[in-house]
Amino acid sequence: MNELELIQLLTRNLPTNDSVVTGAGDDCAVLDLGIPERFLLFKTDAIVEGIHFTRETPPEKIGRKVLARCLSDIAAMAGSASAALVTIALPKEFDPEFVKSIYTGLNALAQRFGVAIVGGETTTNPERILISIALLGTVAKEKCIRRHGSKPGDAIFVTGHLGGSIEGHHLDFEPRLAEARWLADHFTPTSMIDLSDGLAGDLRHLLERDQLGAELLKTAIPISRVAKLKAKAESPAKPPLLAALTDGEDFELLFTVPSRVAVSLLDGWRKQFPDVALTCIGKISATPGVRLRDKDGYKPMPAHGYVHFA
């Protein structure tokens, strides 16, 4: 049983109540707790030594990464982050200075984005470090963007460049909070997600609920320079396109907008965010499945992103 199958099993009969606007299945839970004109966003995420970082990773970057992952999910809903709880599980023989430095990195990023660290939990975990964040945020009700909502013909956009994140980007990425709020204010994406498990997998999350498909232009996929260089250095080489589709931990925004606003969106983006790439990579189709177009036409895309337990 892989991660996606396990999630389906565990979320099948979850209890709910009247506060739940959006529960399991999106980047954040969306709750209505009576805050005037705003929804509450609730997110949790965890990183594990040996999976998301190694003992050789600078501890400040470990702390930064665990909070940045949650901030990226808040961005995917076009929200603003408010306060976080931190759970850290440590082996019995841990280095206090190493742990202190983890919090140095976490706290620095929290201060940058106005996030209060309001408590948490410490516990023991055999052999390896585990850190979990529970993050609260808010979003204007009319600006909240979810994974579902795209329509056939919508243009598909992605920020940044993809692939090769293991070479350092997965530790240093910038959560796209400002970019997402600007999008919501000016162009209202019909759907949005952050790319944590790879374009090939996360795109399908935008399609599955409404049984839609996507047609992508192969030459439009924005492949990172690192992914191209890594392909030349490795043997056997991983094709750069495959890296861009499947590597994961890019933490860029993938979103859809009506095609009629695509040109004005690109023009406005270049003025507002000149240092952040934005690329139209294809369109939503009414026919389920993801297809890649090259000079020979459209072909099914069998590639999927990263899946735990697979």
Amino acid identity for residue 143 in this structure? K
Contacts of 251 (CB under 8 A, 6+ apart): 68, 69, 72, 165, 170, 173, 175, 176, 194, 195, 196
Question: What CATH topology corresponds to 155-300?
Answer: Phosphoribosyl-aminoimidazole Synthetase; Chain A, domain 2 (3.90.650)
Place of tokens 């030459």: 219
Within this chain, domains 3-143 and 155-300 share the same CATH topology: no
Q: Where are the domains of the chain?
A: 3-143, 155-300
The residues near 243 (Cβ < 8 Å, ≥ 6 apart) are 162, 163, 164, 223, 227, 230, 231
Output the pLDDT for position 309.
66
- Architecture, CATH, for domain 3-143: 2-Layer Sandwich (3.30)
Quote the pTM value. Answer: 0.95
Based on the number of CB atoms within 10 Å of its own CB, is 276 exposed (0-12), middle (13-18) or buried (19 or more)?
Answer: middle
Report pLDDT digits (tens) over 228-269.
998 777 767 789 999 999 999 999 999 999 999 999 999 999
Give percent of the chain with pLDDT exceeding 70.
Answer: 99
d(CA 292, CA 199): 12
Q: Which two tokens stand for residue 45?
A: 């995420």
Residue 306's Cβ-count burial label (10 Å; 0-12, 13-18, 19+) is middle
Reported as a single tens digit per residue, the pLDDT across 122-168 is 999 999 999 999 999 999 999 999 999 999 999 999 999 999 999 99
